[in-house]
C-alpha cells in the first residue's frame, strides 16, 4: 500500500505527517493527532457525526482520505473556542439545552458555524437544511434549531 507525506493545518497548527493510502481524515484526526472531539459512528456518511470544516466547508471526515487533505485547512470543534471563551454558537447550545449525550454536538456546532458565516440571518428552513445531514438521537432537534437561530440573532 502506498504511503504519502502530507502537510496540513488543523485548528491553525501545521502538521507534517506520513499516512497510508487507506487512512481516513477521521482516523488521522482522532488517532494520530488525538483530536477526539470529532466523533466516529457510522463510517459511511449517513450520521454526519464526523463532520469537520475542510477549508471552511462542512465535510464528513469518514469519507475523506487523509492523503487528500495535503495542503488543506481543517477545523475541528477543538479549534473554535479561544481559551476559555466559547463561541456564540457554543454558548447558545448550552443556553438552549441543545446538548444531551453530546455525541452529535461537535458536528452540529461546526455545521452551524459554517452556516452563519455563509448566511448570517438564516430562516428556520435554512437551518434545518444545513444540519440535515447530522443525526441527533436525543433532543428531537428543536433545541438545536432554536440555539442556532438564537446565535444568529446575537451575531
Partner 1 sequence: MPLPKFDYLKPHTTEELSAALAEHGVDAKLFAGGTDLLVLMRDRLVRPKYVIDIKEIKDLHELSWDERRGLTIGAAVTLNELMASEVVRERFGALWKAAGTIADPTIRNRATLVGNICNASPAADTAPALLVLEAEVEFVSAKGKRVTPILEFFRGVKRTSLERDEFVKAVRIPNPPDGAKGDYLKWGRTRGEDLAVVGVAALVANSGEKIMRIALSSVAPTPLRIFEVEKIPKEEGSVAEQISKAVSIVREKISPITDVRGGKEYRIHMAGVLTKRILEGLLGAS
- With binding defined as CB under 8 A, does residue 133 bind partner 1? yes
How far apart (Å, rounded) are the C-alpha atoms in residues 29 and 42? 16
How many residues bind to partner 1 according to rule CB under 8 A?
A: 30
Radius of gyration, alpha carbons of the chain: 15
Question: Which residue number, 68 or 95, has a Cβ lying nearer to partner 1?
Answer: 68
Question: Site for partner 1 (CB under 8 A): which residue of 7, 102, 121, 129?
Answer: 129
Contact 116/152 with Cβ under 8 angstroms?
Answer: yes
Question: Site for partner 1 (CB under 8 A): which residue of 57, 82, 84, 125?
Answer: 57
Beta pairing, strands 51-54 & 73-75:
antiparallel
Q: How many CA within 13 A on the CB side of residue 103? A: 13
- With binding defined as CB under 8 A, does residue 7 bind partner 1? no
- With binding defined as CB under 8 A, does residue 29 bind partner 1? no
Question: Site for partner 1 (CB under 8 A): which residue of 33, 64, 74, 145?
Answer: 64
Amino acid at each position: 500500500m502506498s504511503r504519502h507525506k502530507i502537510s496540513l493545518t488543523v485548528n491553525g497548527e501545521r502538521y507534517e505527517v506520513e499516512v497510508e493510502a487507506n487512512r481516513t481524515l477521521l482516523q488521522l484526526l482522532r488517532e494520530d493527532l488525538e483530536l477526539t472531539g470529532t466523533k466516529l459512528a457510522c463510517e459511511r456518511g449517513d450520521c454526519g457525526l464526523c463532520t469537520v470544516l475542510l477549508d471552511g466547508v462542512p465535510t464528513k471526515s469518514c469519507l475523506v482520505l487523509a492523503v487528500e487533505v495535503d495542503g488543506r485547512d481543517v477545523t475541528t470543534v477543538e479549534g473554535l473556542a479561544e481559551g476559555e471563551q466559547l463561541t456564540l454558537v457554543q454558548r447558545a447550545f448550552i443556553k438552549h439545552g441543545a446538548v444531551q449525550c453530546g455525541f452529535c454536538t461537535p458536528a452540529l456546532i461546526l455545521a452551524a458555524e459554517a452556516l452563519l458565516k455563509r448566511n448570517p440571518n438564516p430562516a428556520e428552513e435554512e437551518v434545518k437544511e444545513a444540519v440535515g445531514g447530522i443525526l441527533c438521537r436525543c433532543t428531537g432537534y428543536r433545541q438545536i434549531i432554536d440555539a442556532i437561530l438564537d446565535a444568529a440573532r446575537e451575531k
